Amino acid sequence: MGPAQLVAPSPWLRFSLLPILGCSMRATELHLVTLRQPPAEADIASHRWLVRGGFIRRVTAGVYAYLPLMWRVLRKVEAIIREEMDGTGALELRLPALQPAELWRRSGRWDTYTAGEGIMFNLRDRQGRELGLGPTHEEVITTIAADLIRSYRQLPVSFYQLQTKFRDEIRPRFGLMRGREFIMKDAYSFHGNEEDLRCYYRIMDGAYGRIFSRCGLKVLAVQADSGAIGGAASQEFMAVAEAGEDLVLSSGDGRYAANQERAQSLPSPPVPLGVAEDRLFATPGQASIEAVCGAHGLNPSQTLKVLLHRACFAHGPHQPVLTVLRGDQEVNTVKLINVLSSLLADRGTLLALERLDADALNNHGLQLPVGFLGPDLPDHAIEGAPNLMGSFVRIVDATAADLAGFVCGANVVDQHRRVPGWSALDVSFTRADVRAAQPGDRCCHDPHVVLTATRGIEVGHIFQLGRKYSTALEANFTTEGGGSEPMWMGCYGIGVSRLAQAAVEQNHDDKGILWPLSIAPFEVVISVANGQEQEQRQLAEGLYGELGAAGVDVLLDDRPERAGVKFKDADLLGIPWRVVVGRDAAKGQIELKQRSKSQALTMASSQLLGKLLPQLQRQRQGMVPEEGV
RNA sequence: CGGGGCGUAGCGCAGUUUGGUAGCGCGCUUGCUUUGGGAGCAAGAUGUCGCAGGUUCAAAUCCUGUCGCCCCGACCA
């Protein structure tokens, strides 16, 4: 029979009796459900801890419920984002998630996002109208801007929203890292000229740096590919983490960092190969570069690698593509897609690029000497294949094009060929950079510096879109001179829910999460070691009231659990500061401990606020606490 | 979409090969004891064994289909 029952006979009554204490809360009211065992669904640390700590629950593949603890974290992240966005002059609004296909057809993205990548959830309503759930909002905001903005006098303007986004990911994974429904901050800016866009882009760049740093994340800003969204300059913000899905290549001198999709580097020089005359030689069963090199004492850089692809465009037949790289290089499909897109711009959007390996060729009804292909593979080799029309688009990477003599396949099984130079081959190529930069490659800006690899989680991406969408959607404004021009646009995204999980990925140990204070669900937890002791309860209640009144987000762990359980849970939840009210409560003494430290500090309870508040102030501004606490 | 794996209590799992009353640990409920790092004892509750067909006297177990989930790959502001 606890005293609580005397005060509040109905569990609902207590709400009307609650004093207003900021965002403080009692564990008995929080509906805290932690798991002792790691869930089977989770594969990476941050996912495991978020589920074990009772922050999130999976509803279906790639779709999560944010439980009250997580919601507190997300609200704090959002608050930081709002402050920084408002600081750039951006205006918050909220756009619909449900969008008409018509808008996406006007920008030309409906097919890419539904038929092509298939990333947009789409549906027909009862009248047969086609709709999509927004994976991004360029179309809607551009239409609105076109409606609102008439004159250069109204520019520039920037809108942002915090909203649920939908993407039908082929393989959702890692909890909130790659979900099919997630929270995103997206901002869109409109400008009268390109210089103004560039200027605001730099302002956003700065705001992004502050947002991530205030959220306690270690983030690398890297050059990025613009992808399906289009546009010119673009930069990604990568939270450094082993579990990250992206590979970042950066130079030790800090002057260059790029997503591997985009990264450029100097290839290693090839081992020279003098070829006196063009001749065939037998390579029985040697269908790989390694096999040929091993058997004939060659270096891979003395050979050519030939890859076949099938490019599916929105208009026109499927295009066969033949790509040549130096034997020691790998293709970068993102670069290849970009090259093909611009080369065949009249075919519309490139919907898919399928690699034609031996199996795929078989499925297309073709028998080619795979493993023995040469750059001069004749066009008639693919005649009769129902899904491949016309002649090859032939692309040669610079590394291959620059070779004087080389070894390549002879287009005959078990035959390779020594070729004295490209002039010996009677075919023409488009020269392009389609090779993947690799860690260890020399940097373009300084050949003495090599690229190193870091894995990262993309938590933000900013783009200078230019006038792609404003042109397609006729978002024009009247210029000072009285003419009419499409507006210049930028867009700026932050994966809010992903950011929160990235923070966990960067800040955990074997006991649980270590939230950065600025986004922790609570700043302080008061653990009552033994809730049956009158002195402990009273002292804890007093401190709870004081901290709450001082504007601290404090959790009072008043559950009827043993001390060990409360300590384990406090560590699991990752609350940055813990106040233990325990055996010395009768003497008015308490313990103060940081989640990240093993040492606790014993002090009189009257000293707590004086010690703690200045430290909290520092940490809220993104600084580390002083030593000795 | 290709390859692999898994669906049994709230969570983690055994049982499936060889068909025969549905189990273990944690959690949950009640009581007593305990009370500073996930307590002890005792008593208890909880399952359409993912779903639908089929085989059989009998199916968690065998067969067929189907749905869902996880991992690898492909893919991906």
Domain spans in chain A, listed from the N-terminal domain onward: 3-30+522-620, 56-264+452-504, 279-432
Give strand ranges (E) for A129-214.
Answer: 130-133, 157-166, 181-191
Q: Which structure tokens are listed for A318?
A: 């499927």
Q: CB neighbours of A618 closer than 8 A, spacing ≥ 6?
A: A624, A625, A626
Q: Which residue is nearest to nucleotide B25 (CA to C1')?
A: A37
Element (H, E) at A488: strand A488-495
Give me the pLDDT at residue A3, please. Answer: 38
A271 — pLDDT class (breaks 50, 70, 90) = very high
Q: Which structure tokens are listed for A587?
A: 């003497």
Superfamily of the domain at A279-432: YbaK/aminoacyl-tRNA synthetase-associated domain (3.90.960.10)
Distance A359 CA to B55 C1' (A): 39
Average pLDDT, chain A: 90
Distance A177 CA to B73 C1' (A): 19
Nucleotide nearest to A565 (CA to C1'): B38
> In this structure, what DSSP letter does residue A112 have?
I
Distance CA A324, CA A334 (A): 15
Q: Which structure tokens are listed for A57?
A: 């629950």
Q: Are A234 and A461 in contact (CB under 8 A)?
A: yes
Give me the pLDDT at residue A549, please. Answer: 92
Q: CB neighbours of A575 closer than 8 A, spacing ≥ 6?
A: A515, A520, A521, A522, A523, A524, A525, A555, A595
Strands A393-397 and A319-326: parallel
Distance A532 CA to B38 C1' (A): 19
Element (H, E) at A177: none
A10 — pLDDT class (breaks 50, 70, 90) = low
Distance A173 CA to B38 C1' (A): 29
User: What does each C-alpha distance from A159 to A186, A212, A474, A493 come to in angstroms?
Assistant: 8, 20, 18, 12
Q: What is the CA radius of gyration of chain A?
A: 30
**Residue at A305: amino acid letter:** K
pLDDT, tens only, A408-441: 999 999 999 999 999 999 899 999 999 999 999 9
Q: How far apart are the first and last CA of chain A?
A: 39
Mean pLDDT value across residues A201-209: 96
Residue A8 reports pLDDT greater than 50? no
Q: Which of A233-247, A305-319, A541-555 has the lowest mean pLDDT?
A: A305-319
Q: Which structure tokens are listed for A583?
A: 């055996």
- What does CATH list as the number for A3-30+522-620? 3.40.50.800
Distance A559 CA to B18 C1' (A): 51
Nucleotide nearest to A583 (CA to C1'): B36
Nucleotide nearest to A569 (CA to C1'): B38
Distance A97 CA to B75 C1' (A): 24
Distance A59 CA to B24 C1' (A): 28
What are the backbone dihedrals phi and psi of residue A194, each rounded to the nearest 5 degrees, phi first?
Answer: -70, -35
A230 — pLDDT class (breaks 50, 70, 90) = low
pLDDT, tens only, A389-412: 778 999 999 999 999 999 999 999
Sheet with A554-557: list strands edge to edge: A25-26, A554-557, A524-528, A577-581, A589-594, A600-604
Q: Which residue is nearest to nucleotide B72 (CA to C1')?
A: A171
Q: Which residue is nearest to nucleotide B76 (CA to C1')?
A: A169
Percent of chain A predicted with pLDDT > 90: 72
Nucleotide nearest to A600 (CA to C1'): B36
Q: Which structure tokens are listed for A453?
A: 């690899």
Nucleotide nearest to A165 (CA to C1'): B77
Q: Which residue is nearest to nucleotide B10 (CA to C1')?
A: A35
Give me the pLDDT at residue A111, please. Answer: 80
Number of Cα atoms under 13 Å in the Cβ half of residue A319? 27
Q: Which residue is nearest to nucleotide B34 (CA to C1')?
A: A562
Q: Which structure tokens are listed for A308?
A: 């076949």
Nucleotide nearest to A354 (CA to C1'): B74
For residue A248, what are the β-bridge partners? A259, A454
Distance CA A522, CA A312 (A): 51
Nucleotide nearest to A571 (CA to C1'): B37
Distance A136 CA to B67 C1' (A): 31
Q: Are A568 and A618 in contact (CB under 8 A)?
A: no
Distance CA A56, CA A18 (A): 27
Q: Cis before residue A486, ω within 30 degrees of 0?
A: no
Give me the pLDDT at residue A314, please. Answer: 78
Distance A269 CA to B2 C1' (A): 37
Mean pLDDT value across residues A114-123: 81
Give me the pLDDT at residue A9, please. Answer: 46
Max mean pLDDT among A124-128, A184-188, A223-227 falls in A184-188
Nucleotide nearest to A173 (CA to C1'): B70
Residue A1 reports pLDDT greater than 50? no
Q: Are A130 and A124 in contact (CB under 8 A)?
A: yes
Distance A36 CA to B43 C1' (A): 25
Nucleotide nearest to A533 (CA to C1'): B35
Q: Which residue is nearest to nucleotide B38 (CA to C1')?
A: A565
Number of Cα atoms under 13 Å in the Cβ half of residue A261? 18
A275 — pLDDT class (breaks 50, 70, 90) = confident
Percent of chain A predicted with pLDDT > 70: 95
Distance A65 CA to B16 C1' (A): 34
Residue A19 reports pLDDT greater than 50? no
Nearest to A81 by CA among A219, A185, A236: A185
Which nucleotides of chain B are near protein (any atom < 7 Å from a CB)? 1, 11-13, 25-27, 34-39, 68-77
Q: Which residue is nearest to nucleotide B6 (CA to C1')?
A: A40
Tell me the CATH architecture of domain A56-264+452-504: 2-Layer Sandwich (3.30)
3-state secondary structure A590-608: EEEEECCCCCEEEEEHHHH
Q: How far is Cα of residue A576 from the mean position of the Cα atoms in its chain? A: 26
Nucleotide nearest to A581 (CA to C1'): B36
Distance A38 CA to B8 C1' (A): 19
Distance CA A189, CA A546 (A): 44
Max mean pLDDT among A221-225, A382-386, A502-506 falls in A502-506
Give me the pLDDT at residue A4, please. Answer: 38
Distance CA A513, CA A536 (A): 27
Mean pLDDT value across residues A581-606: 96
Nearest to A487 by CA among A103, A194, A91, A231: A194
pLDDT, tens only, A315-358: 888 889 999 999 999 999 888 988 998 888 888 778 788 888 87
Nucleotide nearest to A47 (CA to C1'): B70
Give me the pLDDT at residue A2, please. Answer: 36
Element (H, E) at A298: none
Q: Are A80 and A518 in contact (CB under 8 A)?
A: yes
Distance A60 CA to B70 C1' (A): 12
Distance A573 CA to B22 C1' (A): 36
Distance CA A136, CA A95 (A): 10
